[in-house]
A and B are shown apart, each in its own frame.
Chain A
Amino acid sequence: MAEEVKSPAPPPPPQPRPAKTEPSGGPEGEPKPTAELPVAAAPAAPVKPAAPAAKPAAPAKPAGPVPMPWTSPLVEKYRSQYGSGLDPQTYLGQNYLNVDRSLIPDILRLLRDEEQFDYCVDITAAHYPKREKQFDVIWILYSFPRNERVRVKTQIADGASIPSSVSIWPTANWLEREVYDMFGITFDGHPDLRRILLPDGWKGYPLRKDYGILQQDKEWVQINLGIESGQ
């Protein structure tokens, strides 16, 4: 079991991630490194012939696995308005907008009010501990009239908060509570931001990468369950 605790550690700090960080670098710079790095990482360094062998394979499937800039009337409209705060991408036929944290309540509201993204499918997050802004917060939206999905992504630092979207989509209530519960990201203006799946007094946020898979709030377990350990 101890090995399992260690095994997740190597994947989280991979090289491909920094490419995603792109604090200021343009989006065009991103796809290339992401496509090449796994190739370089997989067959180690000394295996020289493997690299050329892998190269021909890459052109065979460039249409799919490389994030491309996403262009559409929707994007053009907001791009002129927000400029560099908005980075539209498409990957495997799925569109997403990397937006700056400062645009967050506005762009979501615009997407609902003007672009008819009336259904908030999911709100979630991902933790990248090596980055300066550690968290990605992701909204998955769907529009019934357009039959179209879009994802909105933003990056925030540990300890920073983000405006709640409960007033935009009521369904965000529980979804944001879960993000808070699992990642410790606070949503400003949420009507009832409490833990939802874990007990109220629990310490720690389990889906952060520094939280081990066997880790638990020992104190809580001992006081509330009257046992030495939950394992």
Chain B
Amino acid sequence: MSDRTNELSHLDLETPDKTYLDSNELIINMGPQHPATHGVLRVILKLDGEKVLGTECVIGYLHRGVEKIAENRTYTMFNPYVDRMDYCAAVSNGLGYCEAVEKLMNVEAPPRAQYIRVILTELNRIASHQLWLGTHALDIGAMTPLFYTFRDREEILKIFEKYCGARLTTHAFRIGGCQYETYAGFEKDVKNFLTFFAPKIDEYEALLTTNRIWLERTKNVGVISGPDCIALGVTGPVLRASGVKWDLRKAQPYANYKDFDFEIPIGTNGDTYDRYLVRMQEMRQSMRIIEQAVAGIPEGPIMGKVPKVIKPPVGEIYHSIEAPKGELGYFIVSDGSTQPYRLRVRPPSFVNLQALDVMVRGLLVADVVAVIGTIDIVLGEVDR
């Protein structure tokens, strides 16, 4: 064989069975510019016919060095940057960051701010799941859900826009509380949204839950077990769909989630269909939380006692929240100055994406698209 490579001009007729490639094996490049990779993810697929033997993810196309930027900005200046990581769930990112810095400074946001935060974060969770559902269904070939979910997501974005002036990269919270008081009619808008949205989830479910094509494309596709999820550090709806009842809002409550009554939906099979069901249930649970929060929103200040210049004492903290995609953590090292000495983001998408290889082995190429969709990655967060 080694001689062969040096004598390419001669056809080796005596050993015709020796080829450079196994005739069935095929390396296919998918992305980075591919509509089904939800951004700039490149996946190198090793195939046997149409069966996937293995994958390799190539990431970093959207790397902006968020952690380096953080070291060169003050705590306050860095706050809007976190919205640009998971831009589908900017409010959650902001909540995690603000809470981490507050914890480092040993202050707490006042109750009214906590309620506003929970309402907006849960609205954002619904919006994130809607975006996921629309694009995921589109990848699999169902075009209608995209229009339905975007139509309804618009109502949430309108509330964000009225609250803080931005729809996507909201920068809704500040370290110590909220900058903006709720606008007149905020509570009414949120309540209206809840009554508007409840039948819409049923509408999504009517389109998909018992749809035969949907079932064929999602059942037993991309199966991952609970122990595998834990070993791979997978969190969020993917972990819960594999039967592990773990949600940071319950396990280690932050903000004021312990005040609210809600369930953690879990799946049993750990397949794409279960992850779909779990996220649908999560939207309903988020509505329950919002309903309670709007009813119980107290009066009072919205900003805690935080100095104008944020200067946490020397020390380090790790704080994480349950973002729509999984555990979003911030590890901050303070040297007592106005800028973080080191700020590490523990992104759920990055860690969850690592499980892609395990989930797609043995499936067909078309299923890879379904599995990428079901993990629910945002490349802005994977690459940071």
A residues lining the B interface (CB < 8 Å)? 4-5, 7-8, 10-12, 14, 16-17, 19, 34-35, 37-38, 41-42, 61, 64-65, 67, 91-92, 94, 118-122, 124, 126-127, 138, 140, 144, 147, 149, 151, 169-171, 173-175, 178, 182, 195-199, 206-207, 211, 213
Q: How far is the CB of B328 from chain A (nearest CB, A)?
A: 11
Which 9 A-B pairs give the minimum distances between C-beta atoms? A171-B233, A38-B336, A197-B60, A11-B337, A64-B106, A126-B342, A122-B346, A124-B344, A65-B313
B317-353 residues with Cβ-Cβ distance < 8 A to A are 317-318, 320, 327, 329, 331, 333, 335-339, 341-342, 344, 346, 350-351
Cβ–Cβ contact A170 & B317, under 8 A: no
B59 at the binding interface (Cβ < 8 Å): yes
B67-114 residues with Cβ-Cβ distance < 8 A to A are 67-69, 71-72, 103-104, 106
Cβ–Cβ contact A34 & B252, under 8 A: no
Residues of A within 8 A of B213 (CB): none
Cβ–Cβ contact B67 & A182, under 8 A: yes
> Which of B233, B314, B318, B383 contacts A120 (CB under 8 A)?
B233
B311 at the binding interface (Cβ < 8 Å): yes
Q: Which residue of B lies closest to A16 (CB)?
A: B314
Cβ–Cβ contact B71 & A144, under 8 A: no
Alpha-carbon separation in the docked complex, A130 to B137 (Å): 53
Residues of B within 8 A of A4 (CB): 72
Residues of B within 8 A of A196 (CB): 59-60
Cβ–Cβ contact B335 & A122, under 8 A: no
Residues of B within 8 A of A213 (CB): 65, 68-69, 71-72
Q: Decide yes or no: A41 and B336 within 8 Å by CB, A140-B329, A171-B354, A198-B60 being known contacts.
A: yes
Q: How far is the CB of A29 from chain B (nearest CB, A)?
A: 14
Q: How far is the CB of A98 from chain B (nearest CB, A)?
A: 12
Alpha-carbon separation in the docked complex, A144 to B239 (Å): 12
Cβ–Cβ contact B314 & A38, under 8 A: yes
Residues of A within 8 A of B337 (CB): 10-11, 14
Cβ–Cβ contact A118 & B230, under 8 A: yes
Q: Which residue of B lies closest to A118 (CB)?
A: B230
Alpha-carbon separation in the docked complex, A171 to B229 (Å): 9
Residues of A within 8 A of B350 (CB): 174, 178
Q: How far is the CB of A204 from chain B (nearest CB, A)?
A: 12
Residues of A within 8 A of B316 (CB): 91
Cβ–Cβ contact B341 & A12, under 8 A: yes
Residues of B within 8 A of A206 (CB): 65, 68
B residues lining the A interface (CB < 8 Å)? 59-60, 63, 65, 67-69, 71-72, 103-104, 106, 230-234, 244, 246, 251-252, 311, 313-318, 320, 327, 329, 331, 333, 335-339, 341-342, 344, 346, 350-351, 354, 383-384
Q: Which residue of A lies closest to B338 (CB)?
A: A11
Cβ–Cβ contact A14 & B335, under 8 A: yes
Residues of B within 8 A of A169 (CB): 231, 233
Q: How far is the CB of A3 from chain B (nearest CB, A)?
A: 10
> Which of A5, A61, A149 contacts B106 (CB under 8 A)?
A61
Alpha-carbon separation in the docked complex, A37 to B72 (Å): 22
Cβ–Cβ contact A67 & B315, under 8 A: yes
Alpha-carbon separation in the docked complex, A38 to B339 (Å): 14
Cβ–Cβ contact A14 & B336, under 8 A: yes
Cβ–Cβ contact B71 & A122, under 8 A: no
Cβ–Cβ contact B313 & A173, under 8 A: no
Q: Decide yes or no: A121 and B329 within 8 Å by CB, A14-B337, A61-B106, A171-B354 being known contacts.
A: yes
Told that A14-B337, A35-B313 touch, could you supply 15 new A-B pairs with CB distance under 8 A?
A11-B337, A16-B314, A38-B314, A65-B106, A92-B104, A92-B106, A92-B317, A119-B230, A126-B333, A169-B233, A171-B231, A196-B60, A197-B63, A199-B60, A211-B68
- A sample of 17 cross-chain residue pairs with beta-carbon separation below 8 angstroms, ordered by A number, consists of A7-B72, A11-B335, A14-B337, A16-B314, A41-B336, A91-B317, A92-B104, A94-B317, A119-B230, A121-B318, A121-B320, A144-B230, A149-B252, A151-B318, A170-B232, A213-B65, A213-B69
Residues of A within 8 A of B318 (CB): 94, 121-122, 140, 149, 151
Residues of A within 8 A of B231 (CB): 118, 169-171
Cβ–Cβ contact A144 & B68, under 8 A: no
> Which of B244, B246, B335 contacts A16 (CB under 8 A)?
B335
Residues of A within 8 A of B335 (CB): 11-12, 14, 16-17
Q: How far is the CB of A18 from chain B (nearest CB, A)?
A: 11
Alpha-carbon separation in the docked complex, A174 to B331 (Å): 18
Residues of B within 8 A of A65 (CB): 106, 313, 315
Alpha-carbon separation in the docked complex, A35 to B384 (Å): 33
Cβ–Cβ contact A147 & B252, under 8 A: yes
